[in-house]
Chains A and B, each alone.
Chain A
Amino acid sequence: MEDQDYILFDDYITGTLSKEERLVFENRLKSDSTFKKNFDTFKELSSFLENRFEPETNAFMDNLENISNAHFDGMEEGTEKRQKNRFFGYGQFAMAASIVILLGVFIFNQFSDPAYGDYDDHKVISLTVRGANDSLSKEAEKAFNSKNFIEAETLFNEILSDDRSNLEVELYKSIALIEIGQFGEADELLWGLSETNSAYANKAKWYWALSKLKQKELEECIKILKTIPKEAEDYKRVQKLLKKLQ
């Protein structure tokens, strides 16, 4: 095997050969079986090395480790709690129960379960104008900020019909949809947004979780909240809500 061949293999894989050189290379692959066998191994090793050392792989391993730890720690806590409960005597139980009932009467209203209404304080929005549709954007902003969500949703749709890839408007549209109770469409939009690499991904996750909260799908809500990373703007609120829910 000539060194020159290895250089050629790498040039082919990295796309640095000219069109003519590629053709010659591909013809040789068809006619020379040893050349092809060597190339296949070289290519397989290149993919192996690329995957092993590129930063994306590390990011995956770290994320997997975190989710795995959270899952197994949660299991242990569950077991500990169950074990403790076993040793909880009847006397203590009766005493605790009466205290709970007494307290419950007084504080029921103040400490009830978290609800969507606790978190629907959307900030005043100001749309970035991307096209010529300045007045339409202004109208949509006004409708949204004055909590006229039905009208806002219609106006957002108009903006999106001209500018399909406007993620900012997609986010506001989904908030409007949650407000008017069209959860199916809202959830679908938010899921899509949360999968993007955009600046709106974490916000979308937060509102997706709130949508589930409003629908009283608490388990789904918890699952989504757990995927929101530390650097997210809403991280503190996420943690507070998680505590209340768990």
Chain B
Amino acid sequence: MNEKKIHDDQKYIDGLLKNNSFVIQAIYDKFVPKVINYIKLNSGNVDEAKDVIQDTLVTIYNQAKEKGLQLTCPFDAYFFLLCKRKWLNTLKKNNKEVTINEVVLSEDDDTQELAFETALFTEKQELFNEMFQKLGTACKDLIKATFKIKSMEEVAASLGITYAYARKKKSLCIGKLTKLVQESPKFNRLNY
């Protein structure tokens, strides 16, 4: 994937990463109306469209942050395809039987491939979240504090433990999570 040329629209991904309001605003102005239109055409309303769009932008942000997402297709096509699939999944989950009214939009191989990677990423995030909830309270609190506060000295002080113990415990807690994730059948399916 790295050999492919990065599309000029990478600026939207970079803007999201920097939490640049101007870029986010531009995405809403330029690309969101088409998504709303599609969802309204397919048994949805404006509020449902609002949620789908927001969730999709959060997913793109997460993927960019955690995996260094690089855009190899136009943002418009990629964003629309993600929103569309998310909405079709929602319809499926709610057992709504509808005839899909398609809009004509080019979905070339690059867009399909990138959207596929994002779908895998999303499934993994869901699994990670689910497994995180299975950790004990002490591990969860320590992990949260570690990444929120960022200084291990302060984390240790806030939890009333020594610095050395906090560091060791943090490693072991992430280790425990690693084990839980690896033991899940879903992970092995996703990590083909």
- A7–B179 CB distance below 8 A: no
Task: Select the residue from B21, B144, B167 with max chain A CB neighbours within 10 A.
Answer: B21
B residues 71-114 touching A (CB-CB < 8 Å): none
Confirm or deny: B150 has a beta carbon within 8 angstroms of a beta carbon on chain A: yes
Confirm or deny: A61 has a beta carbon within 8 angstroms of a beta carbon on chain B: yes
- Please give me the residue from chain A that is nearest to B36 by CB atom: A75
Residues of B with C-beta under 8 A to A10:
167, 170-171, 174
Confirm or deny: B18 has a beta carbon within 8 angstroms of a beta carbon on chain A: yes
Question: A80 CB to closest chain B CB, in angstroms?
Answer: 13
B residues 3-51 touching A (CB-CB < 8 Å): 16, 18-22, 24-26, 28-29, 32, 46, 50
Contacting chain B: which of A66-74, A108-116, A135-143?
Answer: A66-74
Residues of A with C-beta under 8 A to B146:
53
Contacting chain B: which of A21-29, A42-50, A173-181, A233-241?
Answer: A42-50
Partner of B171, one of A9, A44, A51, A64: A9
- B24–A41 CB distance below 8 A: no
* A6–B180 CA distance with the chains assembled, in angstroms: 14
- A227–B22 CB distance below 8 A: yes
Confirm or deny: A63 has a beta carbon within 8 angstroms of a beta carbon on chain B: yes
* A55–B149 CA distance with the chains assembled, in angstroms: 9
- A64–B170 CB distance below 8 A: no
- A47–B148 CB distance below 8 A: no
- A49–B28 CB distance below 8 A: no
Confirm or deny: B192 has a beta carbon within 8 angstroms of a beta carbon on chain A: no
Question: B156 CB to closest chain A CB, in angstroms?
Answer: 15
Write out, one digit per residue, whether chain A residues 103-122 have a CB within 8 A of any chain B CB (1) or not (0).
00000000000000000000
A7-B171, A53-B144 given; A64·B178 CB < 8 A = no
* A72–B46 CA distance with the chains assembled, in angstroms: 8
- B66–A59 CB distance below 8 A: no
Confirm or deny: B143 has a beta carbon within 8 angstroms of a beta carbon on chain A: yes
- A61–B175 CB distance below 8 A: no
Confirm or deny: A223 has a beta carbon within 8 angstroms of a beta carbon on chain B: yes
- Please give me the residue from chain B that is nearest to A56 by CB atom: B19
User: Could you give 10 example pairs across A and B, Cβ below 8 Å?
Assistant: A3-B172, A6-B175, A7-B172, A9-B174, A47-B65, A48-B128, A68-B50, A71-B25, A195-B20, A224-B22
User: Which 10 A/B pairs are nearest by Cβ-Cβ distance?
Assistant: A6-B175, A53-B147, A10-B171, A227-B21, A47-B66, A7-B171, A71-B28, A60-B19, A42-B178, A6-B171
List 4 additional A-B contacts (Cβ < 8 Å) besides A10-B174, A45-B174, A45-B181.
Answer: A44-B66, A61-B58, A64-B57, A72-B50
